[in-house]
């Protein structure tokens, strides 16, 4: 089945075309430079920009796949979680196509998309898998029994890991977004220069990253590290060391929980997904973890780590091929749980 997929939940306008499980094209138009002056995504600007770009991005995805709308047999679109104004641009665009062309359409959970990105280039990755999804908005561990069968094993109770990087970078005056800037600098610093205590959460399998902001602020104060006068300024060695220590601490925390989940859950494979999966130290450490436990590992190439529509096509194809059609209940949801009885209840409520 030839599928067109659209993603517009945050600050990337993306479209992809796939023939079943085979990806034909993936186009991503990023708004990152637009939001940089604000140090974060401005929802109204993002939504307006999606609206201006979506037709062109879809046309490019079709032409790069050497196909056209007449050949498309099904549609998939991110329906949540995300910024509602942004999600609505993709949802309305795809709904209009579905109506005009009488095509089946499925709404895809953005997190399911990130998880599914693990199978884009490793189609035979064995189930059950343990998926660590780490982005600017989410940090969670999932047990994936099969496509469509997810159980959350742990999630952050406050900030996401990417958010911890972004907020720390903002405090130090480093370029936006903070994650890539911190990753680049960290390799030149001493990861043991500054101490970050282990996060303790009583009786709960959860992540917590909000404490890192306070710790960074405190380290800056004590070591007399001033924010950079402008993002391109040369950072002092103490700042480089602080950045290296922060990256080390965040990655250690992610790995600690992943190892716990792995020992309790005994999966056959590991998936690392989401924007923070671009982090070099995290990639190295998770590779080591998979090797230690003899597990298959999927870390998508960088172009599928950040938000993209290839992952939405991959997640949507199973439902489309099973004959699912969400046309009469397709909508945008700011929050949208995935997996477990809770999700089942809430998706019924949304219908």
Name the 3-class secondary structure at 108.
strand
- The most distant pair of C-alpha atoms in the chain lies apart, rounded to whole Å, by 64
Partner touching 300 among ligand KG4, Zn ion, none, CB below 5 to 8 Å by kind: none
Reference 207, options 195, 216, 198; nearest CA is 198
Distance CA 81, CA 119 (A): 21
Contact of 134 with 274, CB cutoff 8 Å: yes
Chain centre distance of CA 215: 25
Partner touching 180 among ligand KG4, Zn ion, none, CB below 5 to 8 Å by kind: ligand KG4
112 belongs to the binding site for ligand KG4 (CB under 6 A): no
Strand 2-7 and strand 206-207: the pairing is: unpaired
Name the 3-class secondary structure at 266.
coil
Shortest distance, position 215 Cβ to Zn ion, whole Å: 26
- C-alpha count within 13 angstroms, C-beta hemisphere, residue 41: 21
Contact of 58 with 15, CB cutoff 8 Å: yes
Nearer to Zn ion, 135 or 269 (CB): 135
90 belongs to the binding site for ligand KG4 (CB under 6 A): no
Nearer to ligand KG4, 12 or 320 (CB): 12
Reference 164, options 183, 192, 146; nearest CA is 183
DSSP state, residue 209: -
Nearer to Zn ion, 31 or 135 (CB): 135
Nearer to ligand KG4, 32 or 69 (CB): 32
Partner touching 74 among Zn ion, ligand KG4, none, CB below 5 to 8 Å by kind: none
Residues of span 237-296 touching ligand KG4 by CB under 6 A: 274-276, 278-279
**Contact footprint for Zn ion (CB under 5 A):** 135, 307
Give the one residue of 180, 235, 337, 339 binding ligand KG4; rule: CB under 6 A. Answer: 180
According to DSSP, the residues that pair with 150 across neighbouring strands are 144
Shortest distance, position 110 Cβ to Zn ion, whole Å: 6
Reference 110, options 278, 257, 314; nearest CA is 314
Partner touching 165 among ligand KG4, Zn ion, none, CB below 5 to 8 Å by kind: ligand KG4
Nearer to ligand KG4, 104 or 207 (CB): 207
Partner touching 90 among Zn ion, ligand KG4, none, CB below 5 to 8 Å by kind: none
Single out the segment in contact with ligand KG4 by CB under 6 A; choices: 44-52, 177-185, 195-203, 226-234.
177-185
Residues of span 4-23 touching ligand KG4 by CB under 6 A: 10
Nearer to Zn ion, 134 or 199 (CB): 134
Angle of CA points 58, 112, 139, to nearest 5°: 115
Strands (E), 259-343: 269-273, 296-298
Binding residues for ligand KG4, per CB under 6 A? 10, 135-137, 162, 165-166, 177-180, 183, 274-276, 278-279, 306-307
């Amino acid at each position: 089945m030839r599928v067109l997929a659209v993603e517009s939940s945050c600050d990337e306008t993306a479209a992809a075309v796939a023939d079943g499980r085979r990806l034909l094209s993936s186009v991503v138009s990023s708004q990152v430079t637009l939001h940089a002056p604000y140090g974060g995504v401005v929802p109204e600007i993002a939504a307006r920009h999606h609206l201006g770009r979506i037709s062109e991005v879809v046309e490019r995805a079709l032409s790069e796949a050497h196909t056209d709308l007449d050949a498309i047999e099904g549609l998939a679109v991110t329906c949540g979680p995300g910024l509602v104004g942004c999600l609505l641009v993709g949802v309305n665009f795809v709904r209009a196509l579905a109506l005009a062309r009488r095509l089946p359409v499925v709404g895809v959970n953005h997190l399911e998309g990130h998880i599914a990105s693990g199978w884009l280039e490793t189609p035979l990755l064995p189930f059950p898998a343990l998926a660590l999804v780490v982005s600017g908005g989410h940090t969670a561990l999932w047990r994936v029994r099969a496509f469509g069968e997810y159980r959350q094993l742990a999630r952050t109770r406050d900030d996401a890991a990417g958010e911890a990087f972004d907020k720390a970078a903002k405090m130090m005056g480093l370029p936006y977004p903070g994650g890539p800037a911190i990753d680049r600098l960290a390799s030149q610093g001493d990861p043991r220069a500054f101490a970050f205590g282990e996060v303790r959460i009583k009786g709960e399998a959860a992540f917590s990253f909000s404490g890192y902001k306070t710790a960074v602020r405190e380290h800056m104060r004590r070591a007399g590290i001033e924010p950079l006068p402008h993002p391109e300024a040369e950072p002092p060695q103490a700042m480089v060391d602080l950045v290296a220590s922060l990256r080390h601490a965040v990655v250690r925390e992610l790995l600690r929980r992943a190892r716990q989940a792995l020992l309790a859950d005994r999966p056959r494979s590991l998936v690392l997904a989401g924007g923070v999966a671009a982090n070099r130290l995290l990639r190295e450490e998770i590779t080591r973890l998979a090797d230690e436990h003899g597990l298959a590992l999927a870390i998508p190439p960088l172009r599928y780590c950040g938000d993209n529509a290839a992952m939405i096509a991959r997640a949507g194809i199973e439902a489309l091929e099973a004959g699912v059609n969400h046309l009469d209940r397709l909508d945008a949801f700011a929050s949208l749980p995935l997996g477990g009885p809770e999700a089942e209840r809430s998706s019924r409520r949304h219908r």
